[in-house]
Amino acid sequence: MTTATVRSSDRRISPVFLGIVAVMAVSGWAVWTDFSANVGVAVFLFVTAAWIVSLCLHEYAHARTALHGGDISIGAKGYLTLNPLKYTHALLSIVLPVIFVIMGGIGLPGGAVFIERNRIRGRWKHSLISAAGPLTNVLFAVVCTAPFWLGALDGVPLGFQYALGFLALLQVTAAILNFLPVPGLDGYGVIEPWLSYRIRRQVEPYAQFGLLGVFVIILIPGVNEVFFDVIHAILGGLGVSDLDAYCGRNLFSWWTDRNEFACGPVSS
């Protein structure tokens, strides 16, 4: 089965997605050049737009892999256009993840594209379809952290450096949370094809509560501390310091009264 079975119009990139990319590019330029009167607003727009772009690419990876796996209905559903409004649950896929980022700086995974699994044969294909989304977050994290682990930060404005640090944190948290083997998350989707029919039937009713359960558990102080210790350890291995992520979050939350003096000047 190839993408030739999908109409070209079903693969055309949506103007909605292109508009989001444009916001990301313009706001990123504003952060880099210190064009904005309030660098925090520019960082907020840049990180939010980039986060939505990553969510779209996450869902696109699921859809594209499913298409190659045998589900040719993907094209007609509009998933290959990267239009977030075409997702099965736009609220879960885009709105709630953005709200969670604004509220707590956590890259919470969103909803999913609807894949007709009965069209797909082979357990490996099912696992790969589920893994494709969070692997996109991993790739996005690698791109965001590249200037850090390549030692290429000379000449990079502090505001842009901090924004990349915070965006990298969001991608790492999204990848880890998505890979958790919890019903309703992609990690469970990876292992589900290898479980017995009896276990899958027993777990199925709880899938709709998986994401909510993970969010509640992360709010537990002890769990939250351990979780972010792991996140910062990973970021540290990629060259992103705690200060980079912390200052990026401070700039992102420009409407708060957080003390920013420890981050140093971010504008000329």
Vertex 231 angle, CA 228 and 235, to 5°: 135
Q: d(Cα 98, Cα 45) in Å, to the nearest integer?
A: 11
Q: Single out the catalytic residue among 59, 192, 204, 225.
A: 59
Give the residue from 205, 238, 138, 234 showing the smallest Cα distance to 178: 138
Q: d(Cα 74, Cα 72) in Å, to the nearest integer?
A: 5
| Catalytic residue status for 59 | yes
How many CB atoms lie under 10 A from the CB of residue 259?
Answer: 8
Give the residue from 75, 24, 34 showing the smallest Cα distance to 54: 24
Q: Which residue has the tokens 């915070």?
A: 166
Backbone phi and psi for residue 83, each to the nearest 5 degrees, phi listed first? -85, 115
| Cα radius of gyration (the chain) | 19
Q: Which residues are catalytic?
A: 59
